[in-house]
Structure 1
Amino acid sequence: MNEMKQKAQVYITVAIIAVVAIIIIASSSFYVVDIKSQCVITEFGKPKKVVTEPGLKVKTPFIQKTKYFEKRIIEWDGEPSDILTRDKENIGINTWARWKIVDPLKFYTSIGTEDRGQGVLDEVIGSAVKNIVSSYPLNEMLRNTNRKLEYTTVELEKAEMDKKVHISHGRASLVGEINKMANEGLRDRYGMELVDVRIKHINYIPAVIPKIFDRMRSERIRIANKYESEGRREEAEIMGYMKKELEKIESEGYKIATETRGEADAEAVKIYADAYGKDPDFYSFTKTLETYEKTVDDNTRLYLSTDSDYYKYIDSFMEK
């Protein structure tokens, strides 16, 4: 009985060892490539083959090893950098990109890890951004086309037109040049490819901001001076027109008054003449009374000769 028990324990032990060995060999022989990954098989540290199709795969246990890489598009986010444009404007540019591994074997042999790939892109994209941005003026980086911008006032719109800003390439074209320059040799050297490169934002360096405000202030002052000059010119035109119209009105009024006075005098002379022709004595009497009224008051003393008209009328009045 003891012998049988011992044999049974030996069998069980052997079976357990065999199962463990099978599991170890199986785990070292089989590997899985999922749909979002790609794999490089190495043999004694040297790359043997590339597996890009998903599924359960088999390799030589203990000799071959797997190195997985991302098959999907990978994010890259750069650090802001200060760049001097062709027209000597210092700006800060922040970029981002998307890339992927197109040749896992070359990528593994040249770089090895995705983190190192990110480091390569830091240098490649940073260099391309600096080369392109420094080759163009600031307006090319800020605008895409020569389309007419919307302004709150006509003066600001005219001021923009007076600057004669012409966009020959535009921001989108410059970004395309950055992408092209950064992609040159990337596939052949590292097995990588840039899918897209974009500018996240452009900032003015603090030292440049006062200059921008000064230009804006001088532009507003120029517009204000233009308004003031136009106002003074219109004021002079209005005052000149008003003076001209006033002189015209006064002249016409004086003319009408003179004509009216002349007509009235003529009519009065005519009336006087008609009255004198009808009754000379009465006319003479009334004219004398008018003369009395204009020349004699309570404080007047008259010294008349006996042959004066005053005396004759007074004397004739006393006799009555």
Structure 2
Amino acid sequence: MKKAAIIIALIVVASVIICLKASLYVVDVRQQAVITQFGRPVKTVTDPGLCVKTPFIQEVRYFDKRLLEWSGEPSDILTRDKENIGVGAWARWKISESLKFYTSLGTEERGMRVLDEVIESAVKNVVSSYTLKEVLRNSNRKLEYTTKELEEAEDIKKVQIIMGRDKISEEIKKMALRALEGRYGIELIDVRIKYINYVEAVIPKIYDRMRSERIRIANKYESEGRKEEAEILGSMKRELERIESEGYRTAEEIKGQADAEAVKIYAEAYEKAPEFYSFTKTLQTYETTFDKQTHLILTTDGDYFQYLKSFRQEGKRGQE
């Protein structure tokens, strides 16, 4: 009897434990729960703590109450100014109405797939209606460039940012909210553009355009260099001509002074011995005017003939 009573008591205790385990559940502070009965939702629990349900009849479905992260795949989009770019977006969302979320989607994975469709569609519709500059930049703040030429080229374009990247992100969020409103129990907290890249097919064209821009700048530098070179060479030529002119003028002045000094010396010498001076000048004249091919006809009463004749006679006396 005692043995049977012990067995019955153990069975009762085990049954109580099983019933308690099946009827008690804990909702974490990070979670919310939906209680279903035969598959139909009957209650939602959002407060954390120990709760009770009908054992073996009701089941608990847990959902995250925290902010959840969504990160989309890059989408190829053609902007209003015909630039083909890849845009990636990210978002933060949460399950605001667990009962509606459970009845419409059931799992967080399905919620992610819905966001894939809604947000990516909003990104394509909004981004395609703006230019690339509007999507990239937030304001008209003057950008800093590595070269003055690139800065001047940007100033020539006169880019005016009206919306900007942040406002475009807000527009994407509003469009996505309109698509989600009242349907899935999802609250979209924020949507942002994560990155913007050129698609791989147009990258070579971008590089070619960048290369042509650099070549244009290089040609401009080369043209300016040739201009400065011509100016420097012209200045050097003018300076050389000025120096040569001054040197020639100085040389002529020195030569003139030397000639004047020589004339003065010759004049003084002539005054001291005019006959000797006349004689030497005559000899110099003969020396410069006569050569071996010259035939000279003299009269007997000429000075030169008389001089040669007297010189010859003196030569004979000396030989005797």
TM-score computed with the length of structure 1 as normaliser:
0.84
Kindly provide the CA deviation profile for residues 86-113 of structure 1, in whole angstroms up to 9, marking residues without a partner as x.
Answer: 1111111222222211221222233222
Aligned: 1:118 with 2:119: no
The alignment covers a number of residue pairs equal to 314
Amino acid across the alignment from 1:280? P
Instruction: Give the C-alpha shift of residue 130 in structure 1.
Output: 0.8
Instruction: Give the C-alpha shift of residue 59 in structure 1.
Output: 2.1
Aligned: 1:41 with 2:35: yes
Could you tell me which residue of structure 2 aligns to residue 236 of structure 1? Answer: 230
Aligned: 1:204 with 2:198: yes
Partners of 1:39 and 1:282 lie apart in 2 by 145
Partners of 1:177 and 1:65 lie apart in 2 by 41
Could you tell me which residue of structure 1 aligns to residue 55 of structure 2? Answer: 61
TM-score computed with the length of structure 2 as normaliser:
0.84
Partners of 2:84 and 2:161 lie apart in 1 by 19
Aligned: 1:288 with 2:312: no
Kindly provide the CA deviation profile for residues 201-235 of structure 1, in whole angstroms up to 9, marking residues without a partner as x.
Answer: 32322221122122112212211221232223223
Could you tell me which residue of structure 1 aligns to residue 220 of structure 2? Answer: 226
Segments of 5+ residues of structure 2 without an aligned counterpart are 315-320
Secondary structure at the counterpart of residue 223 of structure 2: helix
The one of 55, 75, 81 aligned to 1:81: 75
Greater Cα offset, 255-264 or 55-64: 255-264
Aligned: 1:140 with 2:152: no
Secondary structure at the counterpart of residue 172 of structure 1: helix
Kindly provide the CA deviation profile for residues 132-154 of structure 1, in whole angstroms up to 9, marking residues without a partner as x.
Answer: 21121112333344444444433
Amino acid across the alignment from 2:198? Y
Could you tell me which residue of structure 1 aligns to residue 150 of structure 2? Answer: 156
Secondary structure at the counterpart of residue 60 of structure 1: coil
Aligned: 1:194 with 2:188: yes
Instruction: Give the C-alpha shift of residue 85 in structure 1.
Output: 0.9
Partners of 1:144 and 1:315 lie apart in 2 by 118
Amino acid across the alignment from 1:87? D
Instruction: Give the C-alpha shift of residue 277 in structure 1.
Output: 3.3
Secondary structure at the counterpart of residue 182 of structure 2: helix
C-alpha RMSD of matched pairs (Å) = 2.9
Change over 3 Å in CA distance of 1:39–1:187 after alignment to 2: farther
Confirm or deny: 8 A CA contact 1:83 1:92 kept in the other structure: yes
Kindly provide the CA deviation profile for residues 31-58 of structure 1, in whole angstroms up to 9, marking residues without a partner as x.
Answer: 1111221112234544333212221111
Greater Cα offset, 210-219 or 120-129: 210-219
Change over 3 Å in CA distance of 1:307–1:176 after alignment to 2: farther
Instruction: Give the C-alpha shift of residue 290 in structure 1.
Output: 1.9
Aligned: 1:179 with 2:159: no
Aligned: 1:252 with 2:246: yes
Amino acid across the alignment from 1:269? V
Secondary structure at the counterpart of residue 189 of structure 1: coil
Partners of 2:207 and 2:182 lie apart in 1 by 48
Secondary structure at the counterpart of residue 190 of structure 1: coil
Secondary structure at the counterpart of residue 53 of structure 1: coil
Partners of 1:274 and 1:313 lie apart in 2 by 26
Could you tell me which residue of structure 1 aligns to residue 23 of structure 2? Answer: 29
Q: Percent same amino acid at aligned positions?
A: 67
Change over 3 Å in CA distance of 1:314–1:166 after alignment to 2: farther
Aligned: 1:72 with 2:66: yes
Instruction: Give the C-alpha shift of residue 118 in structure 1.
Output: 0.8
Greater Cα offset, 237-246 or 121-130: 237-246
Kindly provide the CA deviation profile for residues 133-187 of structure 1, in whole angstroms up to 9, marking residues without a partner as x.
Answer: 1121112333344444444433334334333344343333333332333234636
The one of 123, 137, 141 aligned to 1:129: 123
Segments of 5+ residues of structure 1 without an aligned counterpart are none
Could you tell me which residue of structure 1 aligns to residue 98 of structure 2? Answer: 104
Partners of 2:33 and 2:196 lie apart in 1 by 39
Amino acid across the alignment from 1:193? E
Could you tell me which residue of structure 2 aligns to residue 15 of structure 1? Answer: 9
Confirm or deny: 8 A CA contact 2:118 2:179 kept in the other structure: no
Amino acid across the alignment from 2:163? H
Change over 3 Å in CA distance of 1:77–1:58 after alignment to 2: same
Amino acid across the alignment from 1:153? T
Partners of 1:262 and 1:283 lie apart in 2 by 22
